[in-house]
A and B are shown apart, each in its own frame.
Chain A
Amino acid sequence: MAALPRRIIKETQRLMQEPVPGISAVPSDTNARYFHVIVTGPEDSPFEGGLFKLELFLPEDYPMSAPKVRFITKIYHPNIDRLGRICLDILKDKWSPALQIRTVLLSIQALLSAPNPDDPLANDVAELWKVNESEAIRNAKEWTRRYAMDN
């Protein structure tokens, strides 16, 4: 396997030594560019109490291009679609090589606290979030209980 750039080694070490509260990111045994991620649902959000699994992959030209991140756990959120794809500017055109795995995951956690239905990825969810927020939040809590709490 190709040698791992020192930056990735450093980031991985730091993630292990100084983990971010509420976030765990562990590299796969077989591919050091593939991380198993768990993000806890933020307090005072409909996702509170949930443990959300994600996968994160560092492409060959990382950090010149952004990590690929996807939710594996189903989640009811206007900026996350059925396939777990995330609509977040820093994962796309606002990526900067000074961002890191930890900052990306913190931003995703922040997105759970602050859904943005005006920039939707899941249109039906975003629509409900706009016209009937309380029902949307009820759905999000229900999905969290059903999919993010059973283990």
Chain B
Amino acid sequence: MNETLKSDSDCAVCLQKCNHPTKLPCGHVFCFLCVKGIAFQSRKCAMCRAEIPQNYLDNPILLESLSTGGVNTNDTEDIYQWFYEGRNGWWKYDERSNTELETAYNAGDPACTLLLAGTLYNIDFHSMTQVRRSDQTRRRRVRRDTPMFPSKGIAGIKTYNATAIPIQTDSDESDEVEVIEVDNQVIEISDSDDSVLMEIETVQADVISDIVNRISAVNLEESTNSENHEENLSFGT
């Protein structure tokens, strides 16, 4: 089998198409949220059991820029985006969870259950809260708004300018996920806002500048406040 999995193949953890494909140091690729799940659980790659470095999630290797993918960049009026509250701002749910939430909400369901990073959460549409099923004290507020509502990023992946400018997107109207050529061209984004590290051997200059433009609008750093997938919010109303 090919050691370096293509980012467009199925994720071995959720068995779906890789959502925000994320590459571990051993070369195996999973969804960002699946990596988050295994990093909390066993700290080992699900394919080869190579140890995942302690601080990997502070500095994950994402194979696609945040500007790709459907609902989060689509500003048509009839598409809603779901958000959950973090410290000092709101996060967008990932595209897949957003679709599940919208489907349940539009069907008139009172609540929706999501498996996020290996943990089950209930999202209650009446109280607009997200509660961890195994620990009911872990709750956050959620909201349904337009995709333009200011957010810190998607599912814990930070965008560079959190509140003002939406991430630069492609003029291409298709919802096709755009894949940056993966082999030997991993784009590593460090936690400092300005430094952009790339191992690039064969990309042409215009492609590079295109990538740099998009990457510089993105900061993938997950700082201490989001080390845990959620925070304790009080029960008080």
Report if A2-B120 is in contact (Cβ < 8 Å); known contacts: A11-B15, A98-B12: yes
In the complex the two chains form, is B14's CB within 8 Å of A6's CB? yes
**Which residue of B41, B46, B133, B134 is within 8 Å of A98 (Cβ)?**
B46
Give A contacts to B, CB under 8 Å.
Answer: 2-3, 5-7, 10-11, 60-61, 63-65, 94-98
A61 CB → nearest B CB, Å? 6
Contact segment of B111-119, B142-150, B221-229: B111-119
Per-position binary interface string of chain B over residues 47-72, scored 1 when its CB falls under 8 Å from any chain A CB and 0 otherwise: 10100000000000000000000000
Interface class of chain A by DSSP: loop
Q: Of all chain A residues, which has the CB nearest B34?
A: A97
* Chain B residues, CB < 8 A from A97: 12-13, 34, 37-38, 41, 46, 118
Within 8 A of A (CB), among B104-135: 104, 112-113, 115, 118-120, 122, 133-134
Q: Which residues of A contact B38 (CB under 8 A)?
A: 64, 97
Known: A2-B113, A3-B113. A64 touches B15 (CB 8 A): no
Look across to chain A and name the residue whose beta carbon is closest to the beta carbon of B104.
A3
| Residue pair A63, B16 in contact (C-beta under 8 Å) | no
B44 near A: Cβ within 8 Å? yes
* A60 contacts across to B, CB distance below 8 A: 120, 133-134
Contact A96 B16 (CB under 8 A): no
Closest to B12 in A: A98
* B9 shortest CB reach to chain A, Å: 13
Nearest residue (CB) in B for A96 is: B46
Q: Bound state CA distance, A146 and B146, in angstroms? A: 66
Q: A61-B120, A96-B49, A98-B47 are in contact. Are A10 and B41 (CB under 8 A)?
A: no
Contacts of B16 in A (CB 8 A): 6-7, 10
In the complex, the answer to whether B133 meets A63 with C-beta atoms within 8 Å is no
Inter-chain CA distance A65–B12, complex, in Å, is: 14
CB distance from B217 to the nearest CB of A (A): 31
A65-B41, A98-B46 given as contacts; is B13 within 8 A of A5 (CB)?
no
Return 14 A-B CB contacts under 8 Å, by A number. Answer: A3-B104, A3-B113, A5-B14, A5-B115, A60-B134, A63-B118, A64-B38, A64-B118, A65-B41, A94-B49, A95-B42, A97-B13, A98-B12, A98-B13
Known: A97-B37, A97-B38. A63 touches B120 (CB 8 A): no
Given A96-B44, A97-B38, A98-B13, 17 extra CB contacts under 8 A: A2-B120, A3-B100, A3-B112, A5-B115, A6-B16, A7-B13, A11-B15, A61-B41, A61-B120, A63-B118, A65-B41, A94-B49, A95-B42, A96-B46, A97-B12, A97-B13, A97-B118
When C-beta atoms are compared, the residue in chain A nearest to B100 turns out to be: A3
Q: Which residue of B lies closest to A3 (CB)?
A: B113
Q: Tell me if B113 and A63 are in contact (CB < 8 A).
A: no
Which residue on chain A has the smallest CB distance to residue B49? A96
A64 neighbours in B (Cβ, 8 Å):
37-38, 41, 118-119
7 shortest interchain CB distances as A-B pairs: A64-B118, A98-B46, A98-B12, A2-B113, A5-B115, A64-B41, A3-B113
B118 proximity list for chain A (CB < 8 A) = 61, 63-64, 97
Q: Which residues on A sit within 8 Å (CB–CB) of B113?
A: 2-3
Query: A6 CB to closest chain B CB, in angstroms?
Result: 6
In the complex, how many angstroms separate the beta carbon of B33 from the nearest chain A beta carbon?
Answer: 11
User: Taking the nearest CB of chain A, how far is it from the CB of B18, in angstroms?
Assistant: 13
Q: How far is the CB of B162 from chain A (nearest CB, A)?
A: 29
Which residues from chain B contact A2 at a C-beta distance below 8 Å? 113, 120, 122, 133
Report A-chain residues with C-beta under 8 Å of the C-beta of B119: 61, 64
